[in-house]
Structures are given as C-alpha cells and as structure tokens.
C-alpha cells in the first residue's frame, strides 16, 4: 500500500461506527482465510472493500482471502454455498485450500456431516471429512480448452490444449506455459531449480497480470519435478500474491504434468505428492471419471470480532 492509502485505512478503522463482525480464522497449509458464518444469507455480508481491509496483515486480521458460508440454493442439490474474496477484494471462482477450511468451519459450527455438497462459482464441489482429520475434496473435472481457461495462448496441436507454449512476459523473459483451469485459471511453468531459475517476486506478478495471455489474469505455479510421484511448487496467486499453498493450483499442476508426460499417470487410487512452502498436498486425477481429488489439512487458528468501517 502507498502511504496515502495506508493513512486512509488507519483513519477508516479509527472512524469505525462500532459495527463489527464475528469471524473465525482458518488455514490450510498456511494459506489462510477469514471465515464468516452467513448461512442465513444468499450473498456475502461484507463488501469486497471491507474484505480487503480485513485481509490486511497490519491494519486488519490478516489473510489470503475472506470466505463466506452461505445458504444453499433452493434447488435441493446442495448443502451450502461458498463465496470468496481474494485479499485484494477480487472474486475468484474457487479455492482449494479454502474449501477444506470451509468444511472444517462447518464441522466446528456443528454441521457434523461426513461430506458436504457445496455450490461454488466453479460448480459443485464436495469435501469429504476423513477419519484422520484430513479432508479430501472432489474438485471436479479440469478444464483444458484454452478459451475456457481462459487463455489466448495457442493450443498445442499434439495435445489439443495449451501445453508448454512459448510466451514472452512484459519484462522480455521467455516462458513455456501450460494452462489449466480448475474453475479458476492457472499458468504452469516447469523449471529445473525452483531456487535458482526464477525471480519469484518479479516473474510472478509479471505473469499474473498478463491479460494479453490470460484475460481474467491468472494464478502462476512454478514447479520442479522431483520424482515420478513428487513435485515441488511455488505459487504466485491472482489477487493475493505469494501464498504458502494453493489447492486449485496443485490440482492444475498434477493434471498438466500428467498430460505433458512430465510424470506418469499413477494407478487408480494412487496420489501425487506436491510440496508447497506450507507443506504437502496429495492429488489424484482419476482416469475412470476424469475428476481430481485433493487431500490435505485445514485448521482453526483463532476466532474473534472485527470492527468494520
Ligand atoms: N488459494 C486458493 C486459490 C484462491 C483463488 C485464487 N487466488 C484465484 O484468484 O483464482 C486455492 O487454494 O485454490
């Protein structure tokens, strides 16, 4: 934030009318979210601007996003709806770590089911609570068709989707990009050495905001294949910048890596381990139904009441 925006934020908090909101703070591998219980509402009780302010790590609660647990639509097909704002106030379609936090939040609120049918902007998503307290999420089918990702990068004829296409960013740096959507867009880039081959703080934002190639902006995943069943990944998220983990990004990466023959497709039921700065996620892209399953933890950090402007 520029000093003037920061000053305005302090002023707006100081000028609080006393309105406040109850929240709970959760994290999935350090990807952290403010959860709001809006189960009696159809729409979020906070604006994108209020959410952005609450996500600020100095002047708010701090978080990579705000997640709202909302009423299910009346069609009877769902248990709940979920919406999310990124820490910059933009609204993504889905969030993988967020949906595990959402499921744990529901459980902690007393909605003690084994699984939930959640209505999201990316379609139906189903988190299942495991006995070992991890959560496995049916993340649905990956979207590989370029215009639907959306990306303007040309499809690679061999794969009929965007696989390692050459692209030059605004700094003149050349990349080989694969594009996959898990409801939200991901640009996947393989490097030999994650520590040496990228300038994360420069390359991440240069690609995130490259609307010529990704008209809705994109999440950017830099990846290093460690073995046929293990990949390391660093993520620069759309609307949130560097985060410790990204569930949708991890799913997109495993799909992209299998399609590009970077790793073999594991046998049905076997999973690929993806190591992120915040820890490991386990991903299965099931051949029999084309759906992606993500397993990992979600934990309550603290609860509180926040002042609103
Ligand atoms: N951290 C998330 C993704 C959140 C949304 C993303 N920043 C976007 O704008 O698409 C995850 O775990 O999937």
pLDDT score of 14: 38
pLDDT score of 199: 98
Q: Are 292 and 251 in contact (CB under 8 A)?
A: yes
User: What residue spans of 171-272 are helical by DSSP H?
Assistant: 200-208, 247-259
User: What totals of helices (H) and strands (E) does the chain contain, helices first?
Assistant: 5, 17
- Integer Cα distance of 17 and 118 in angstroms: 34
Q: Which atom of ligand 1 is nearest to the CA of 31?
A: 1
ipTM: 0.99
pTM: 0.93
Joined together, the tokens standing for residue 118 give: 């959640």
pLDDT score of 59: 96
* Residues in contact with 1: Cβ distance below 8 Å, sequence separation at least 6, in sequence order: 9, 56
- Integer Cα distance of 302 and 304 in angstroms: 7
pLDDT score of 112: 85
Domains 3-140+298-307 and 146-290 equal at CATH topology level: yes
- Catalytic residue (choose from 55, 101, 246, 251): 246
38 lines ligand 1 (CB under 6 A): no
233 lines ligand 1 (CB under 6 A): no
The residue ranges of every structural domain in the chain are 3-140+298-307, 146-290
Instruction: Match 């967020």 to its residue by tokens.
Output: 98
Q: Whose CA is nearest to atom 3 of ligand 1?
A: 95
247 lines ligand 1 (CB under 6 A): yes
Break the chain down into helix, strand, coil percent, rounded to 5. Answer: 20, 35, 45
95 lines ligand 1 (CB under 6 A): yes
* DSSP per residue, 217-230: --EEEEEEEEETTE
pLDDT score of 7: 42
Q: Are 240 and 86 in contact (CB under 8 A)?
A: yes
- Whether 246 is catalytic is yes
Backbone torsions φ then ψ of 95, nearest 5 degrees: -150, 120
pLDDT score of 157: 85
- Whether 251 is catalytic is no
CATH for 146-290, among 3.40.1370.10, 2.10.109.10, 3.50.50.60, 3.10.310.10? 3.10.310.10
Domain 3-140+298-307: assigned CATH number: 3.10.310.10
Low-confidence ranges of the chain (pLDDT < 50): 1-17
- Catalytic residue (choose from 95, 101, 223, 251): 95
Nearest to 9 by CA among 46, 60, 85: 60
Joined together, the tokens standing for residue 218 give: 């994109």
Nearest to 143 by CA among 157, 127, 160, 156: 160
């Amino acid at each position: 934030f520029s000093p003037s925006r920061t000053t305005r934020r302090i002023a707006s908090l100081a000028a609080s009318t006393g309105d406040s909101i109850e929240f709970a703070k959760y994290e999935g591998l350090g990807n952290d979210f403010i959860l709001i219980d809006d189960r009696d509402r159809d729409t979020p009780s906070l604006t994108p601007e209020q959410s952005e302010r609450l996500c600020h790590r100095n002047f708010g609660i701090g978080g990579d996003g705000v997640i709202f647990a909302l009423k299910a639509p009346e069609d009877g097909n769902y248990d709940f709806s979920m919406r999310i704002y990124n820490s910059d106030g933009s609204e993504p379609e889905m969030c993988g770590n967020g949906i595990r936090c959402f499921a744990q939040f529901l459980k902690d609120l007393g909605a003690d089911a084994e699984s939930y049918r959640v209505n999201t902007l990316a379609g139906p998503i189903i988190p299942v609570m495991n006995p070992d307290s991890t959560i496995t999420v049916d993340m649905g089918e990956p979207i590989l068709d370029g215009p639907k990702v959306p990306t303007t990068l040309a499809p690679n004829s061999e794969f009929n989707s965007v696989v390692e296409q050459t692209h030059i960013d605004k700094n003149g740096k050349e990349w080989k990009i694969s594009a996959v959507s898990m409801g939200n867009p991901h640009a996947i880039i393989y490097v030999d050495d994650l520590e040496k081959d990228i300038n994360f703080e420069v390359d991440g934002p240069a690609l995130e905001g490259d609307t010529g190639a990704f008209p809705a902006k994109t999440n950017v995943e830099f990846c290093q294949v460690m073995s046929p069943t293990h990949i390391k990944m660093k993520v620069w998220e759309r609307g949130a910048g560097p985060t410790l983990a990204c569930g949708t990004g991890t799913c997109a990466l495993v799909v992209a890596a299998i399609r590009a023959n970077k790793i073999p497709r594991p046998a049905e039921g076997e999973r690929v381990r993806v190591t992120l700065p915040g820890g490991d996620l386990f991903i299965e892209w099931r051949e029999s139904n084309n759906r992606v399953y993500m397993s990992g933890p979600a934990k309550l950090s603290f609860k509180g009441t926040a002042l609103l402007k």
